[in-house]
């Protein structure tokens, strides 16, 4: 066997090892995105299960606020539908509507002292607020995992292996600009 053939075999061997290493790294970051989404999904489901209890508690006191209660339930259903489809963009859009509805519901609750004093309402409000904080924390972790994945599938030489094995970029979980804006508390009470 000639020296050229040996050198070629060594280069091919190390090239294959390097390719496998890139592939394994891409698999790792892809599953990191999936894991991060699963963590958000668990919290979304828990909140999804708590919202009907909150609305039912509020219905007993807030007879004149039916529109707000219906908005919360409609937004809850939109989030659930997007979550079940695994559509990250649709979840972000639906979450914006749900968060706006919840903010309005909690603001309206200020007008109902008996409701605010209700232990069940207080518990559910604290529980949902805690889940909201958890979702925000997990969203940050998910977006970081998605960003790492997206960088890996676009940078050279990973892009070659990514295209060869159909690795895809991940969608970031983003909320609308209205969701990120400061809340106009005066408008909620007028």
CATH number at residue 42: 1.20.1440.20
Q: Are 172 and 146 in contact (CB under 8 A)?
A: yes
pLDDT of 190: 41
Domain span at 185: 3-189
pLDDT exceeds 90 at position 54? no
Domain count, the chain: 1
Percentage of the chain lying above the pLDDT 70 cut: 91
Instruction: Determine the Cα–Cα distance for residues 89 and 103; give it in Å rounded to an integer.
Output: 21
Q: Check residue 186 and give its pLDDT.
A: 44
Residue 177 pLDDT class (50, 70, 90 cuts) = low
Residues 71, 72, 77, 83, CA torsion sign: positive
* Residue range 70-82: mean pLDDT, rounded: 88
Residues 6+ apart with CB under 8 A from 90: 78, 81, 82
């Amino acid at each position: 066997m000639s020296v050229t053939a040996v050198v070629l075999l060594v280069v091919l061997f190390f090239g294959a090892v390097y390719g496998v290493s890139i592939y394994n790294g891409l698999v790792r970051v892809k599953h990191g995105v999936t894991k991060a989404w699963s963590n958000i999904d668990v919290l979304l489901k828990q909140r999804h299960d708590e919202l009907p209890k909150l609305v039912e508690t509020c219905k007993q006191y807030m007879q004149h606020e039916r529109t707000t209660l219906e908005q919360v339930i409609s937004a809850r259903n939109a989030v659930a539908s997007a979550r079940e489809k695994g559509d990250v963009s649709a979840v972000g859009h639906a979450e914006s509507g749900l968060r706006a509805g919840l903010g309005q519901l909690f603001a309206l609750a200020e007008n109902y002292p008996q409701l605010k004093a209700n232990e069940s309402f207080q518990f559910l409000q604290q529980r949902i607020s805690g889940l909201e904080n958890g979702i925000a924390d997990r969203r940050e972790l998910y977006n970081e995992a998605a960003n790492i994945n997206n960088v890996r599938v676009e940078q050279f030489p990973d892009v070659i292996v990514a295209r060869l094995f159909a690795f895809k970029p991940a969608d970031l979980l983003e909320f609308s600009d209205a969701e990120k804006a400061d809340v106009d508390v005066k408008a909620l009470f007028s």
